[in-house]
Structure 1
Amino acid sequence: MRKKTLMFILNLRQKIIFFFAYVALKIYAALAQILSPVIRLFFYTRCFCFKKDSIYQVNERFGCISQKYGNITPSPNRIWIHVASVGEFLSIKKLVSKILETDLKVQILLTSTTLTASNLIQQITTERVFHQLIPADVPTWIISFLNFWKPEKAIFVESEIWPNWLAHLKSRNIKVILLNARISDKSFLRWKRFLSIAHEIFQAFDLCIAQNVETVERLNFFRVKECYYLGNLKNFSDPLNIEEDLFRHLFNFEEDAYWVTFASTHEGEEDKIFQVIKELWKLYPKYRFVIAPRHPHRTKIVTDLCVQHQFDYVQLSHILGNQYNILNSSQSIVIVDLLGQMGTFYKLSSVVFIGGSFVKIGGHNPIEAIRFGKIVCFGPYMYNFKDVTAVIQKIYDPFVNNRESLLKFIENCRCDEQQSKENISKLDEFFDIDMNFFNDIIRLVMNA
């Protein structure tokens, strides 16, 4: 009798917990709908006051469809893939190509959150690849989007988890995949506080493919239906493109130049970098520096800092626009204000500092630079790439926790190039990629 009573109480408790989770998600959906005028105002303000979106892009945020897609007919073979920003897009670019090759009937809709990613995606749109910005997580806008595109399956990349989107996809029996999934320490703790809600949300995913073992454990904790770890998709991406004419011009610009690139920098990092540059030039005048802000719209902020520190600079767009003649000062810092050019500077440089790691962003993908055979370093906040940094630490210590250690790291690499070459050789061995895992990911996605 006691056992039956205990089981009854436990079952009742479970039902109450899930009832409250259900109610909480319904309240969230209602609030999102009620606040939709405020969300509209926010995006219109960005458009008209800050010139961040065009009016057409703003309307896409509200579930409107671009006029160029007005005549598209429904397809039973349409896969929708959503990425937040540039890093996620680059990680799935090869996957998109492979899916199109595997099934000639497939159409792919690519959506993004940021305009930076949108600009890159538009470069690969074809008759089978469409693009628009994702609407905000508002029920009526979601319905409008899904009624038009009618995807067969939806793929969210990394940590794009939106309750209303998942609820509407689930209600239409659309297969939902979380690809290259990543749950950070911070996100895990946040989801754990609302465990019943997390269980309800994560149950919407039919398949999860994680980018590390830690995320697999966390997804299983949230009771996902099916979860695999086959490696980080970013490891399988094609090497970045190289502008050969630009590379040759910069490489031959000055004999004995030692190039250092500060990649994907964020606000709060460039000021420290400029102070390091000043000290490095005192030690070796033939250092040459490249700064590539993560978001090119910050170029003006970076060039203003250059002026404050009394440095000459030249923007990459000006170099390319003047057939390379504009680079006439041996101590001009190159500011990369264009997308899709990092391959050239990774190939050119001896050392690459990975930005987003001196501030609490979590860092960016260092493997792109490693695949060019370069020594990488980064600040203390590299928590989004713990699996990669752990591998690098087996060979050398890549962490530079302040300006002084960054300066010392770069100068040590220049003074001991033989040790740098040995470290690079070991890195190549560790990051030798088995493409069979990539093919397994394609198979899982296509069969889901």
Structure 2
Amino acid sequence: MSSLTARIALEAYRLAGMIAYPLVSPYLAFRAAKGKEDRARRDERFGFASANRPQGPLIWFHAASVGETSAVIPLIREIRRRGIHVVLTTGTITSAKLAATRLGDEAIHQYVPLDLKPAIRRFLDYWQPDCAVMAESEIWPMTIMELGRQDIPQILVNARMSDRSFARWTRRPALAEALFENFALVVAQSDIDAQRFRDLQARQVLQSGNLKVDTDAPPYDSAVFARYKKQLGDRMTWAAVSTFEGEESAAATVHRALKDHNHQLTIIVPRHPERCDDIEAMLVAQGLKVARRTRDDALTPDVDIFLGDTIGEMGLYLRLTEVAFVGRSLFAEGGQNPLEPAMLGCAILSGGQVQNFRDAYQALARSGSARMVRDTEMLAKGVHYLLTNDAARRKMIDAGFATVHDMRGALAATIKGLEPYINPLTVKARLLPKTAQS
């Protein structure tokens, strides 16, 4: 692809957005009806602000969903400590709730504007960010081009490039260069990711490690935890967390296979809680008794499945067990973050489709804190082994703690890379009157 062809492709993308613009509102209304959009804040998706812009320097952070939001929270807090304001955009209701729970008024939350020129320009004209920081793999052509047009520095942090995305961009090198050259800095998770961004003509690339390792352990309500622990007594537990379609059925199969041996409670925490009504119906159809967190059901001895259908309580669910299967890895591709289970004291099981978290899984597997399973039968054997072998389970847990500790340092490395961009804003913030800094 030539540079001319790349320009034509980007112009075609812009024109397609203009043509589609009138159809977006009905589409968002449809998504809102399905519970996938916040109906009351739909205008934010068109770039209309629902909060006042504070006086002084401001950085726009964008994190697509829950995992990316969790990863950038420590970075946002460091930016706020320097007196710089933050507007954080996310794309999902779950990530918005997480931001509200974890950050409160430390950052202004808005839903991310659609990647259409009128929405992006409206957003930028109102917020006037001094810098834009995107998390992981957020590559939106119109957003990138409009930020470049307004000379707003763009930085990609905790950046990763999947095998599939790299292959796709490699087939379009001129288009990749036209977009990636707009990034003032890319801070990559791994050496492989860093080299891929360099190959795609990103100008300045650093390697930091994974910010998710430097996040705090997920919070939990100690009173709720104590109540559930009392109800469980000496029952064994295991959890299937961040599950996708098909993996809840696999967890049910494992539960039925092991029930007579262990009398265990199975905890299932779907990646998308809105699926829980269907999941409960599937479990009940199999003769299993289900307790749901949103109903505040008691974990009585006859309960088979504890369905974690809330947002922001992974810290509770993982603290109720020492064995965790991490989903999107058995019947779906990409994997989910295994670091939270490791830092909360769980022996980890996972399917093999973990491309998006390859480095984390490799580190955990090398230390013996994570084991991969091929199918449901192998998962059942792994769960049974870990529930009945205290020494093996404890060894995996201890290895997980050590691995997470050794992997830390990404936050400090990221801050160091950002200093040329945030230090001038820190000075600017300190020169403001005290009333303008709040």
Who is 1:367 aligned against?
A: 339
Contact 2:157 2:187 in 1 (8 A): yes
Asked if 1:83 is matched to 2:63, the reply is yes
Q: CA deviation at 1:275?
A: 1.1
Contact 2:326 2:338 in 1 (8 A): yes
Separation of aligned partners in 2, 1:266 and 1:411: 22
* Structure 1 residues 303 and 126, CA gap change in structure 2 (3 angstroms): closer
Contact 2:232 2:300 in 1 (8 A): no
Separation of aligned partners in 2, 1:275 and 1:126: 40
Q: CA deviation at 1:125?
A: 5.6
* Structure 1 residues 434 and 411, CA gap change in structure 2 (3 angstroms): closer
Contact 1:85 1:116 in 2 (8 A): yes
Who is 1:61 aligned against?
A: 45
Who is 1:178 aligned against?
A: 156
- Of 132, 135, 146 in structure 2, the residue corresponding to residue 157 of structure 1 is 135
How many residues are paired up?
420
Who is 1:264 aligned against?
A: 242
Who is 1:95 aligned against?
A: 75
Q: CA deviation at 1:327?
A: 3.1
Q: CA deviation at 1:282?
A: 2.3
Greater Cα offset, 195-204 or 57-66: 57-66
TM-score by length of 1: 0.89
Separation of aligned partners in 1, 2:30 and 2:220: 37
Who is 2:5 aligned against?
A: 20
Greater Cα offset, 126-135 or 238-247: 126-135
Contact 2:232 2:299 in 1 (8 A): no
Who is 1:338 aligned against?
A: 310
Q: CA deviation at 1:398?
A: 0.9
* Structure 1 residues 316 and 42, CA gap change in structure 2 (3 angstroms): same
* Structure 1 residues 434 and 336, CA gap change in structure 2 (3 angstroms): closer
| Structure 2 letter corresponding to 1:31 | A
| Structure 2 letter corresponding to 1:391 | A
1:299-343 C-alpha deviation (Å, 9 max, x unpaired)? 111111111111111111222xxxx7x333433311111112111
Separation of aligned partners in 1, 2:112 and 2:232: 46
- Of 271, 276, 289 in structure 2, the residue corresponding to residue 312 of structure 1 is 289
Q: CA deviation at 1:426?
A: 2.5
* Structure 1 residues 410 and 60, CA gap change in structure 2 (3 angstroms): same
Separation of aligned partners in 1, 2:214 and 2:399: 19
1:247-326 alignment, distance < 5 Å: 247-285=225-263, 287-319=264-296, 326=298
Separation of aligned partners in 1, 2:323 and 2:244: 18
Choose 1 or 2 for highest CA Rg: 1
Asked if 1:72 is matched to 2:53, the reply is yes
Who is 2:351 aligned against?
A: 379
* Structure 1 residues 125 and 259, CA gap change in structure 2 (3 angstroms): closer
- Of 395, 414, 438 in structure 2, the residue corresponding to residue 441 of structure 1 is 414
For structure 1, the residue ranges without an aligned partner over 5 or more in a row are: 1-15
Who is 2:428 aligned against?
A: none
Q: CA deviation at 1:357?
A: 0.8
Asked if 1:130 is matched to 2:108, the reply is yes
Q: CA deviation at 1:424?
A: 2.2
1:187-222 C-alpha deviation (Å, 9 max, x unpaired)? 001111111100111001000001111110100101
Larger relative contact order (C-alpha < 8 A, sep ≥ 6)? 2
1:339-373 C-alpha deviation (Å, 9 max, x unpaired)? 12111221220200101111233111111111112
Q: CA deviation at 1:437?
A: 4.2
Who is 1:6 aligned against?
A: none
Q: CA deviation at 1:78?
A: 0.4
Residue 160 of structure 1 aligns to a residue whose secondary structure is coil
Contact 2:206 2:417 in 1 (8 A): no
Asked if 1:33 is matched to 2:5, the reply is no
- Percentage identity across aligned positions? 27
Separation of aligned partners in 1, 2:415 and 2:223: 35
* Structure 1 residues 416 and 298, CA gap change in structure 2 (3 angstroms): same
Who is 1:52 aligned against?
A: 36
Who is 2:376 aligned against?
A: 403
TM-score by length of 2: 0.91
Q: CA deviation at 1:290?
A: 0.7
Separation of aligned partners in 2, 1:124 and 1:246: 18
Contact 1:76 1:151 in 2 (8 A): no
Separation of aligned partners in 2, 1:202 and 1:76: 29
Q: CA deviation at 1:127?
A: 5.5
Contact 2:74 2:411 in 1 (8 A): no
Who is 2:195 aligned against?
A: 217
Greater Cα offset, 412-421 or 245-254: 245-254
* Structure 1 residues 406 and 176, CA gap change in structure 2 (3 angstroms): same
Q: CA deviation at 1:53?
A: 2.8
Greater Cα offset, 117-126 or 251-260: 117-126
